[in-house]
Structures are given as C-alpha cells and as structure tokens.
Structure 1
C-alpha cells in the first residue's frame, strides 16, 4: 500500500525517468568493465561478482622457510682488525634455512646437528649434498635415522619459527667459521665446512647418523683436502 501511494504521487514523466535510470544503472553493474593497462599492453576485463560470493580463505597457514643472510656464531668478534670477514655461501645459507624448516616439520623444539645435516641434503645443488648422495646418504635415510635416534616428537608440539640451535649445532657452525679463518684463504664458508663441522661433534646426533650411514674419517679427510684448494667454491 505504501509503495502504491508513493508511485501515485509521481508524474508519468518522473516515473518513466526513475524506472529507466534504475534499469540502466542495474545493467551497468552487470556488464563487464574494461580497464586499459598500458604497462601490460592489454585490456583487463573485470566481471562483476554477486555480493554474496566470498573468496574462500584457507584455515591452515603454509609452512614457510625464512631465509636469513647470516648464520649465528658465538664469537662474532673473532675476526682480527684488518682481516677479511668470511661470508657464508648462498648454498650454506639456504641449507641453514632448510635445517630450521626440517626441525619444524619434525616438530622439534631445537635445530640440532641432525637438522643441519638434513638442511644440507635438502639443497641438492651444493657440493656437500652431491657428495653425500654419491655415497648413499640421502635426505630420507637421514630423516629415518633421526626418528630412530631421537624418537618422534609430541604430536601437540609446536616448533617456533626459528628453532634455536642446540649447543652441538652452535659449535658445528663455529668450527666451520674457525676452519675458514685458519685456512688463510679468501672466499666463502661452504656447505663442506658446515658438513665437517657437524662431523667434528663426535657425540652429536648428526655425527652418529653420518657414521651409521657410512661416512667415516677417510671421507672427512677427502673433503678437507677439497676445501684446502683456494679455488674451491660452493657451486
């Protein structure tokens, strides 16, 4: 009844204008809109969507590896004045980031030498990873041995975004830095240095897993001879 009274007050001319405007406006909303994009060199067609359509949002947060640009060391001032500060290679940095990710996947609260070892293998392009795989040491085998040695983490554990290093893992990093400094050579600290740092921690899970899978002192000497070459790179 209210709508009838309202329409009765409009003149025929006003009523036609009102209806036509509404029809035109409604049709405009339903037509695809064209936007010129000079940067792309194309035209973008925007198809209007109904108001009741919502973009689905995932309930699960993706597991993301945050790549850092330097690795933690206990004594950052160990480099004497005038001495060039050695840098970690890009493969070593990626391996460290993957080590943290592996610890989070296993729901461990810390990044240990076993995680550092898995991180090296996760970056398959590095010389250390290639050497290990050539000797039958793979990521899946190391992960399996880790579960046997350390057990499964509590299902309800939630690892921090950057699981802190264990003391053994920290010493492995420091060993790699010291080895590079003592060599007197320029260049970067490589994944081979990191691998040998893990091996230097005799009581650590990483060393025990390497030993179980066939890595020994002879292979360590072979790698030491490799990085003693000043022209060796982590590529």
Structure 2
C-alpha cells in the first residue's frame, strides 16, 4: 500500500488538496521516515504518535537531508531516545492501544506545516525530511521541539535548515 495515501489522509484538512495538481509530493525518504515514526511510537508503547517520534523517524532513515543535518549538529538516535524516555517515559503494556497510535495534535500540525510550506514556496519538488524537521521546530510547545532544544538545536540552526529548504535544487 502506498504511504502517500496515509500522509494525505493524515492532513487535518484534506479538502485543500481537492485537485491533484495542488497535492504536494512527499520524497521517498520522507515517506520512509514517516513509516519509522509510526513504528517508533508503537515500539515505545505510546498512546499517541508525538513530534519526538518524527525526529526519531528522520534519524532512523539516516541518509536523508534532515538526518544528515541532525547528525552534523551532534544529535544522534541514542541521545534522542534517552531524552524521549526522560520527557515522556515508557508506557505499561496494558495501556497500549491496538494498531498504530493516532497522531497527536502537534504532530498533525507539523505535517500540515510541511505541506503548506512546500505549497507556499511555489517550487516544484518534494516535501523532504528537512521540511518535517523544520515543522517540528516551528511547533514550540511540542515534545519534539523541547527535546531538540535540550540537545542543543537552537534558532540559528533552524535558520540554517530553513535556508537549506529554500534552495530549489536540494533533494532529500
């Protein structure tokens, strides 16, 4: 089954994509990171798919623009998982829902933000993991933003990331 369908369905307002020419395309690495995101939430026995799992999904891919940016700035999967456990802990097995945990509101806004930013740019190309990472940073009250800040991700790094996103020929 095509993950692109799930990402379109996960948008909080799918009506805005009523014509196929307006639907932004997701890069293969962004789709893979999204898949890792959902699996990581299940692995952590969480009741929601939170923004911190989006960052984990990006890092688990390892070869994308977003992953390379995080790794270049000293943010590794082991440090990230350690901070996630400190921030939200691990649930008991009896609390875990069956199937994929639903997206929480901030994760939903991050995916919408990534799609909207790509549409606003007016450029062709795909939504990348860097768009998702910038979306996590834009969601100030999210767990993902707070963990990134704890790990040393600052506003200057976010500006660097946004500059990377705005270069039209940069691919994931």
What's the TM-score once normalised by structure 1's chain length?
0.68
Provide the alpha-carbon RMSD of the alignment: 1.7
Give, in whole Å, the separation in 2 of the partners of 1:135 and 1:126: 14
Q: Which structure 2 residues correspond to residues 139-218 of structure 1 after superposition, within 5 A?
A: 139-218=77-156
Any stretches of 5+ residues in structure 1 without a counterpart?
Answer: 1-65
Q: Any idea what the Cα deviations from partners look like across 1:29-73, whole Å, max 9, x if unmatched?
A: xxxxxxxxxxxxxxxxxxxxxxxxxxxxxxxxxxxxx87233110
Shift in alpha-carbon separation, 1:148–1:192, aligned structure 2, 3 A: same
Give, in whole Å, the separation in 2 of the partners of 1:88 and 1:208: 26
Q: Any idea what the Cα deviations from partners look like across 1:14-41, whole Å, max 9, x if unmatched?
A: xxxxxxxxxxxxxxxxxxxxxxxxxxxx
Helix, strand or coil for the counterpart of 2:3?
coil
Give, in whole Å, the separation in 1 of the partners of 2:19 and 2:29: 27
Larger radius of gyration: 1
The structure 2 residue matched to 1:113, chosen from 51, 58, 61, is: 51
What's the TM-score once normalised by structure 2's chain length?
0.92
Task: Tell me the equivalent position of 1:68.
Answer: 3
In terms of fraction of residues, the more helix-rich structure is: 2
Give, in whole Å, the separation in 2 of the partners of 1:129 and 1:192: 8
Contact 1:67–1:97, Cα closer than 8 Å, also in 2: no
Give, in whole Å, the separation in 2 of the partners of 1:141 and 1:67: 31
Indicate the structure whose relative CO is greater, using CA pairs within 8 Å and at least 6 residues apart.
Answer: 2
Number of aligned pairs? 169
Give, in whole Å, the separation in 1 of the partners of 2:143 and 2:154: 15
| Residue 75 of structure 1, CA deviation | 1.5
Any stretches of 5+ residues in structure 2 without a counterpart?
Answer: none
Q: Which structure 2 residues correspond to residues 14-25 of structure 1 after superposition, within 5 A?
A: none
